[in-house]
Structure formats: C-alpha cells, structure tokens
Amino acid sequence: MERVYGSFDIIVIGGGHAGCEAALAAARLGMDTALITLSVENIAIMPCNPNIGGTSKGHLVRELDALGGEMGKNIDKTFIQSKMLNRSKGPAVHSLRAQADKAAYSNSMRRVLEAQDRLTLIQFEVTDLIIEEGRIRGVKVHGDGIFHAKAVIIATGTYLRARCVYGEVSVHSGPDSLPSADYLTEALRREGIAMQRYKTGTPARIDGRTVNYDVMIPQHGDERIVPFSFTNTPEAVAREQVDCYLTYTNERTHEIIMENIDRSPLYSGFIEGTGPRYCPSLEDKVVKFADKDRHQVFIEPEGMYTNEVYVAGMSTSLPYDVQVAMYRSVRGLENAQIVKNGYAIEYDCFEGKELLPTLALKKVENLYSAGQMNGSSGYEEAAAQGLMAGINAVRKLRGQEEIVLKRSDAYIGVLIDDLCTKESHEPYRMMTSRAEYRLLLRQDNADMRLTPIGHEIGLIDDERYAAFCEKMEAVKREELRLKNTPVGADKRTQAFLSAKGSTPLKTGSSLAELLKRPEMTYEMLGELDDERPDLPPAVCEQVAILIKYEGYINRQESAVARFKKLENKRLDPEMDYAEIGSLRIEAIQKLNEFKPVSIGQASRIAGVSPADISVLMVYLEKRRRSREKH
Ligand SMILES: Cc1cc2nc3c(=O)[nH]c(=O)nc-3n(C[C@H](O)[C@H](O)[C@H](O)COP(=O)(O)OP(=O)(O)OC[C@H]3O[C@@H](n4cnc5c(N)ncnc54)[C@H](O)[C@@H]3O)c2cc1C
C-alpha cells in the first residue's frame, strides 16, 4: 500500500555535483526542497580526478559562481593546490584549476546543504516517478513510499543500472563500490523517453608512501592564488599548498598493455557503453597513438587526510594483474601499491533530443534533468546544469520566463545548447574550442556577463550586487582615464619606451594606446602614469584586457549581433516540418525529432543544412504575411 512520506515544492534526485547546485538554488529561491540521494555520507563526491576546473571547466565554475552557485566557494574552502593554466597564452584560454581535498570538499558541501533553510536532505533510492496527465506529481522510493512534488529534477549521474568493469570482472555497482540505482531507467522508458548507455573510466589509486617522488618533476601551485569565487580575494584563500608530480609512461608500459590488449574489456567488447574521446583510457591512447613512445602521468594527492594518490593519465579497465605490472613499469612507481584499482563504469543517461534548452524534459511537464544524466562528463559540467535546472524549475512553478543562456552569453550556454542540439554518442566534455565567442567568454569576466542575471533571478543578493557594480564602475572609470590621458613624445616617455624595448613615439599618444603594445603591461605603465589610482588587481586585469583586445572584442561582438538575429527567431515547438514541402527529407526528420526552439538552434542540428534554413525562413515569412492578410 502506498504511503505518503512527505510533500515538497521541488524534489532533486541525487546528491552529486548537479543535485547539490539544483537543490541549493531551489531552496535559496524560496522553494520547499528535498534532496533525495542514495547516501547522505557521499555528497558531491569526486569518483574520478581530485580537481575542479582546468581548461574551459574553470570557466564553467566561475560562471556558476557569478550566477550565485556554490561550487566556486566550496573549492576555495577546500583546495590543496591552485594554478592558473595557460598564462602564457591569450586571456580566452586562461583557466583556473585547483586540486581538491576530496573528503573536505564533500563534507563542506554537505554542511552547506544542511545549513540551508527550506532544504531537506533524505537518504533513499528513488525507484519510480509519479506522472499524471503528462505532468510530474512526485517520486516513489522503496516500500511504495511516496514523496509529492510540483517539480522534480533528476541528477542521478553515473548510477542508473551502473556496472563497474575491469578485466573479466563485472560488478553491479555505482562508483567507489556505492550501490547502483536499478529502477528509474524503466520508469523513464515507460514514458517513451530515449535512453542511451555511456561509459567512463578512472585510474587506480596508489599508496603515496610507495611512490618515489625524487625521480619525478614537482608541479607547484601558483604563489599568488586567484580564487574561483568572485566573493573571495587572493589574500582570503592564500594557504600552504601541496605539490603534484610529473612522470611518464614508457615503451615497457606500452608493451605490457599491447601484450594484454585481448584481455581489455574495452577491446573484447565486454563493455557496451561509449566512452569520452577526450578522457581516453591509457590502453586507448597506446592503441590510437602507437607512434608516441611516452604519455604524461601526473601524481595528484587525493587529500590531506590520506596517503592515496590519483594517477592522472593512466585511466584503465585492464585486469588487476596487468594494472600492477603497468603502473610499476612507470618511473617512480616501481614499488607502487594499488589501494583501489582502475575500472570503467557503464550507466544509463538521456539522449539529448529529450531535453529542452531549459533542461526540462519534453515528454513530462515539470520534470527536469541535470549533469551526467544529460550525456555530459565532468563535475563542472554537472554543477552548471544543476544550477540552471534548479533556477528553471522554480521559475516554471512561479510562471516566470525560464532562463536559457545563449552561446554568446556563457560556456554554460554552449554546454546546454550542445547537449540538447547536437547528436552525441559519447560523454560530452567542455572545451574552449567548442565556444565560438570564447574571447568574450573569458573566465576573468564571468561576473560582468552573468552577475546581473544572477541578481535578477534572486541568487545574488543586493550587497554582493552593489560590490559588483562598484567594480564595474571602477573598470569603466579606469578604462576611460587611460584613454583620455595624453602621453607626449617627450624625453621621459622616450626613455621609458626604450627601457621597455618599445618603439619611440613620433607624436603624442595616450596611455591606452601604449597599453595596446604587445610588450606593454598595465603594471609597466605605472612608471609613466603619475595619476594612477590604487585599484584592486581584478579591476586592473579587466582594464588591461579590454584595452589590449579591444579590436578583437569589437569584431566578436558584431559576430554575436549577427548570431542573435537568428537566435531570436523563435520556432513553434508544435510545428510539423513535413508541412514544408520543399524541405529535404533528412531535414524534416531531424527538425521533427529535435523540435528546435529557434532558427539559430535549428541551424546547429546535424543534418540540417544552411539551404534548409533558407527554405524554412522563406516558408515562415510567407506564412507570417498570409496570416497578416487574414
Ligand atoms: C569511474 C568514474 C570515472 C570518471 N571519469 C571522469 C573523467 O575522466 N572526466 C570527467 O570529466 N568526469 C569523469 N567522471 C564523471 C564525474 O564523476 C561526473 O561527471 C560527475 O560526478 C557528475 O556529476 P552528477 O552530479 O551528474 O552525478 P554524480 O556525481 O554521479 O551524482 C549522482 C548522485 O545521484 C545519486 N543517485 C543516483 N541514482 C539515484 C536514485 N535513483 N535515487 C536517489 N539518489 C540517486 C547518487 O547517490 C549520487 O549522489 C567519472 C565518473 C566515474 C564514476
């Protein structure tokens, strides 16, 4: 007999990176929210790499923070090493990455959840969904217990019908030997929702006491740390850091793998799911890049509470005995003791065409989904989706317009648009190359792009917003000041320029013009700039980028203006494209399958050509005119 165990406005299924952000957003926006998860001891765990951020993933975390999410603050509290990657390259690819103390990260996030008003943490496996007349009404748990809700967010990650595999071993379990969730897939299929089977993998964890670090290359963190959260200053997050270490695989390692490749579940077909091309296993790398005689291996501490270290670059699902030989063939790991062996995990997730850009599911009203469940891979990708799903579930229940960030607004916009527009057959990992407007979507200006939206939504409070506006004012003032400060071609200037190896001036110029010179930095110009105000480093960084890249930025902004024209041409989600006789069959099939919300989205669906888009626009224009006539 069914029993009602509770009733909430919003239920989030899953306490992973997506679920935490979704639940916090919903509760902080005033909804009575429950987070139901398999294990409250394992909140926001990192079953794979012990770090947050990295190229493009660092952008996602900063964007999430600028909108009012939690991940940035949580890693600022719990990192053990932090580094700005790609500093030698342009600002578009500068990316923060921080090594996390995994246990501290999980405990800290649990404390934030438990301290949040209107948020209830509950431990259960959700086994079914309650759907009436196409709308979600709640969830079921074991023993026919029922929790009612007006909206539900699925954030079940890598747990649905999860199977862990290494060599000939196959275990029916979630990551880190946690239970798998075996019932929800059927409930989703019952609603006609298309599911697919993905896989990902992880390397072994080794006892750090058995590693010979002396023969490896230490990798230090940055001296001056840039925090992930815009609410923090470098001084506030400064701390002693640990090192990571670099070593390499070698020909012996590759031999061991090739001698046993027939025992690899990847190559024997024992694994069904499709893995991420951009996070390949070592056996994949050795087979696909046979010409390479070595691959990088980074030894990364898992936390201050343990000796365990993560062997980045050696993800594998080879048999245990092969793993032992393979790891011990690496310089510095000759005596390595495996604490946890590497494995691959298969799990069920949605096909992207089931999702709207709001992260609502098309087939069940008020049912949303976020994270690995949507076909992405990565803590950061999951957290970003969780935040958006949480925000949109709240706005839907309040009858407010849901938030869809465009590809020109944020990496989060690129991520979600790709997930629900591009046909994908492998876990989706964010990369800077996916963002066509990446010069505008830098990690340093995430607040400029998104904090006003976070404030309007209600996740950024007035105090933080005031501080943000002050910063923006300071940036504008300083940019203007540099542009309006003349510099004469006088002795002092010429001496300064020659000292910097910069071309002398022929006529007068401005500080801003000088700053545009590649060899010039904002710091250097201080020697020539007597009126310089004392400004926070984040303001100086912004001013320098805006002036130095002004030309590129302007060009990209005009490209965005063109993009928005197509993006703002809305399409009726109920439209039957078979009505448009002159459209190609393939285009009709794809458009009816994906039901795009705009011409812009339609133009990005694989199999829909620019010619099809012209046919569609002509048809829509004719229809508009004929309707105007009647
Ligand atoms: C072995 C392994 C290797 C990985 N390798 C990589 C990698 O190389 N690169 C990379 O980018 N990412 C990798 N990942 C992925 C990364 O862990 C995920 O991207 C990230 O954790 C996804 O976050 P999420 O919130 O979507 O789901 P998860 O973090 O998986 O959290 C899902 C949550 O849902 C709960 N749950 C599930 N089903 C139910 C249910 N029915 N009822 C109640 N609660 C439920 C679980 O308890 C869990 O708390 C790997 C993951 C694993 C497991």
Distance CA 213, CA 326 (A): 18
Distance CA 243, CA 496 (A): 39
Which long-range CB contacts under 8 A does 557-565 form with residues at least 24 apart? Answer: 557/440, 559/436, 559/437, 560/408, 560/437, 560/440, 563/406, 563/407, 563/408, 563/437, 563/600, 564/406, 564/408
Q: Which residues pair with 367 in a beta bridge?
A: 152
Q: Separation of 44 CA from ligand 1 center, angstroms?
A: 9
Write the residue with the smallest CA distance to atom 21 of ligand 1.
Answer: 379
Q: Separation of 504 CA from ligand 1 center, angstroms?
A: 58
Length reported for the chain: 630
Position in ligand 1 atom list of the atom nearest CA 174: 53
For residue 471, the model assigns a pLDDT of: 97
Name the strand (E) or helix (H) holding 188: helix 184-190
Q: What is the mean pLDDT of residues 583-591?
A: 91
- How many other C-beta atoms can be found within 10 angstroms of the C-beta atom of residue 171? 14
The pLDDT-based confidence of 194 (bands split at 50, 70, 90) is very high
Q: Separation of 382 CA from ligand 1 center, angstroms?
A: 9
pLDDT at 627 over 90: no
For residue 414, the model assigns a pLDDT of: 97
- How many other C-beta atoms can be found within 10 angstroms of the C-beta atom of residue 293? 12
| Contact yes or no for 49/310 (Cβ under 8 A) | yes
pLDDT at 327 over 90: yes
The pLDDT-based confidence of 565 (bands split at 50, 70, 90) is confident
The pLDDT-based confidence of 440 (bands split at 50, 70, 90) is very high
What the block records as the tokens of 214 is 């002396």
The pLDDT-based confidence of 188 (bands split at 50, 70, 90) is very high
pLDDT at 553 over 80: yes
Write the residue with the smallest CA distance to atom 47 of ligand 1.
Answer: 38
| Contact yes or no for 30/24 (Cβ under 8 A) | no
Instruction: For residue range 341-377, list pLDDT tens digits in order.
Output: 999 999 999 999 999 999 999 999 999 999 999 999 9
Question: By mean pLDDT, which of 262-276, 366-380, 486-500 is the weakest?
Answer: 262-276
Position in ligand 1 atom list of the atom nearest CA 14: 34
- What is the DSSP secondary structure assignment for residue 504, as one 8-state letter? P
- How many other C-beta atoms can be found within 10 angstroms of the C-beta atom of residue 92? 22
pLDDT at 11 over 80: yes
Ligand 1: residue of 46, 71, 123, 158 to mutate (most ligand atoms within 8 A of CB) is 158
Kindly list the protein residues whose Cβ atom lies closer than 6 A to any atom of ligand 1.
Answer: 13-19, 36-39, 47-48, 125-126, 155-159, 175, 181, 184, 200-202, 279, 345, 371-372, 377-379, 382, 429
Q: Which residues of 420-458 are buried (b: 16+ CB within 10 A; e: fewer)?
A: bbbebebbbbbebebbebbbbbbbbbbbbbbbbbbbebe
Position in ligand 1 atom list of the atom nearest CA 39: 47
- The 3-state secondary structure of 120-133 reads EEEECCEEEEEEEC
The pLDDT-based confidence of 277 (bands split at 50, 70, 90) is confident
Q: What is the mean pLDDT of residues 577-590?
A: 90
Comparing 533 with 594, which gets the higher pLDDT? 533
The string of DSSP codes covering 236-263 is HH------EEEEE--HHHHHHHHHTGGG
| Contact yes or no for 396/165 (Cβ under 8 A) | no
Distance CA 572, CA 599 (A): 10
Distance CA 271, CA 265 (A): 6
Ligand 1: residue of 5, 37, 316 to mutate (most ligand atoms within 8 A of CB) is 37
Measuring CA to CA, which residue among 44, 15, 365, 393 is closest to residue 181?
15
Distance CA 89, CA 156 (A): 37
For residue 628, the model assigns a pLDDT of: 83
| Contact yes or no for 493/517 (Cβ under 8 A) | no
Write the residue with the smallest CA distance to atom 44 of ligand 1.
Answer: 37
Q: What is the mean pLDDT of residues 431-449?
A: 96
Instruction: For residue range 518-550, list pLDDT tens digits in order.
Output: 999 999 999 999 999 999 999 999 999 999 999
The predicted model scores a pTM of 0.96
The string of DSSP codes covering 294-354 is --EEEEEE--TT-SEEEEET----S-HHHHHHHHHTSTT-TT--EEE--EEEEEEEE-GGG
For residue 268, the model assigns a pLDDT of: 86
- How many other C-beta atoms can be found within 10 angstroms of the C-beta atom of residue 11? 30
Instruction: For residue range 92-142, list pLDDT tens digits in order.
Output: 999 999 999 999 999 999 999 999 999 999 999 999 999 999 999 999 999
Question: Pseudo-torsion of CA 507, 508, 510, 513, nearest 10°?
Answer: 0
Average pLDDT of the chain to the nearest whole number: 95
Comparing 618 with 98, which gets the higher pLDDT? 98
For residue 425, the model assigns a pLDDT of: 82
Quick one: what percent of the chain has pLDDT higher than 90?
88
Distance CA 490, CA 149 (A): 73
Position in ligand 1 atom list of the atom nearest CA 43: 49
Burial label for 317, CB within 10 Å (0-12, 13-18, 19+), is buried
Instruction: For residue range 132-149, list pLDDT tens digits in order.
Output: 999 999 999 998 899 999
pLDDT at 184 over 90: yes
Comparing 621 with 186, which gets the higher pLDDT? 186
Q: Which residues pair with 509 in a beta bridge?
A: 487
| Contact yes or no for 553/485 (Cβ under 8 A) | no
Write the residue with the smallest CA distance to atom 20 of ligand 1.
Answer: 379
Quick one: what percent of the chain has pLDDT higher than 70?
100
Q: What is the mean pLDDT of residues 54-83?
A: 98
What the block records as the tokens of 240 is 């002693």
Ligand 1: residue of 372, 385, 388 to mutate (most ligand atoms within 8 A of CB) is 372
Instruction: For residue range 208-249, list pLDDT tens digits in order.
Output: 999 999 999 999 999 999 999 999 999 999 999 999 999 999
Assign residue 382 a region (left: φ > 0; alpha: ψ between -120 and 50; beta: otherwise): alpha
